[in-house]
Amino acid sequence: MPIPTEKLQKVLARAGLGSRRQIENWIREGRIEVNQQKATIGDRINSSDKIRINGRQLRLSALEIPPRQVLCYHKPIGEVCTRHDPEGRKTIFEHLPSPKLGRWISVGRLDLNTAGVLLLTTEGELAHRLMHPSYTIEREYAVRILGNVDQTMLKRLRAGIQLEDGMAHFQKIVDAGGSGANHWYHVILSEGRKHEVRRLWESQGVTVSRLIRIRFGPILLPQKLRAGHHLELDSEKQKALLELVNLKASDPSVKKTRKFKRVER
């Protein structure tokens, strides 16, 4: 009988080493080897294969499924979502506790000047699905606008604007008040393209002077959670996220990773 195989990026993501997208990037960058050969996208592996990342061979503990943990982090302005920043800026990971096993995977990113809800998990498959556009998960933002906004502009933003990477629109825009030139709106969209909220507003000749993500799917930014602080999601909130992306609390396919044998460095 043939030995069962699985895609390399799926096994490593499921073990919490990164999201599938991150691991695919590592493969393209030549950072992963399988049996002393550079890995390629689509490679399949089995329990007899030896895997190296950045020259270091993985141990069994690195391929075990970490216990699922999900954090809600209130990202402040001025932090980046990369693990290491070449410009020496503060990263979100400086404020996070060590996970029980595995590593934190950021569910998408917020740019340097955007604050609010950022989810992190130790489960690669959960992170992958939460970021995948096919699930059309709602993101809600509070936006402070500098400039004059009229009903014609709001109608265009709801109907759709041609950006350089395709059409985009807000599913919902709610006037959240404010006075003078600075006015707050709550907007909802269901994709995570780079700087999409800012680009949509700025296409109309106004400026986003403050941007806060206040909701990701069913997870609201807790009112008492201060910027730079985090909380771990309880089982009910985790269940809501899992149901959103058609995952069960214990997916039998996850157990396959435990078949991998111990390998030495």
Chain segment 113-134, per-residue pLDDT in tens: 999 999 999 988 899 899 999 9
Mean pLDDT of 163-170: 94
Question: Which of 111, 150, 175, 251 is the catalytic position?
Answer: 111
Q: Which two tokens stand for residue 40?
A: 């390629």
Q: Which two tokens stand for residue 117?
A: 């809800």
Q: Is 102 left (phi over 0), alpha (psi -120 to 50) or beta?
A: left
Q: What is the pLDDT of residue 60?
A: 57
**Is pLDDT of 257 > 80?**
no
Q: What is the pLDDT of residue 254?
A: 39
- In the 8-state DSSP scheme, what is residue 41? T
Lowest mean pLDDT among 55-69, 72-86, 94-108: 55-69
Q: Coil, strand or helix: which one is 98?
A: coil
Say if residues 35 and 50 touch (Cβ distance below 8 Å): yes
User: Is residue 49 flagged as an active site residue?
Assistant: no
Over the stretch 195-253, which tens digit does the pLDDT of each residue have? 999 999 999 999 999 999 999 999 999 999 999 999 999 999 999 999 999 998 764 33
In the structure, what pLDDT confidence band is assigned to residue 259 with cuts at 50, 70 and 90? very low
**The pairing of beta strand 207-216 with beta strand 115-121:** parallel
Class at the top of the CATH hierarchy for domain 138-216? alpha beta
Sole residue written with tokens 């002393």 = 36
In the structure, what pLDDT confidence band is assigned to residue 4 with cuts at 50, 70 and 90? low
**Is pLDDT of 2 > 60?**
no
Q: Give the helix ranges, DSSP H, for 49-138.
A: 60-63, 124-131
Ranges of CATH 3.10.290.10 domains, the chain: 6-65+249-259
Which CATH fold topology does 6-65+249-259 show?
3.10.290
Phi, psi of 102 (to 5 degrees): 85, -150
Q: Which long-range contacts (CB under 8 A, 24 or more apart) does 98-103 make?
A: 99/16, 99/66, 99/69, 100/66, 100/67, 100/69, 101/16, 101/61, 101/64, 101/66, 101/67, 102/15, 102/16, 102/17, 102/66, 103/16, 103/17, 103/18
Ranges of CATH 3.30.2350.10 domains, the chain: 138-216
In the structure, what pLDDT confidence band is assigned to residue 1 with cuts at 50, 70 and 90? very low
Mean pLDDT score of the chain, rounded to an integer? 87
Say if residues 212 and 174 touch (Cβ distance below 8 Å): no
Distance, CA of 195 to CA of 184 (rounded, Å)? 18
Mean pLDDT of 90-110: 90
Q: What is the pLDDT of residue 252?
A: 36
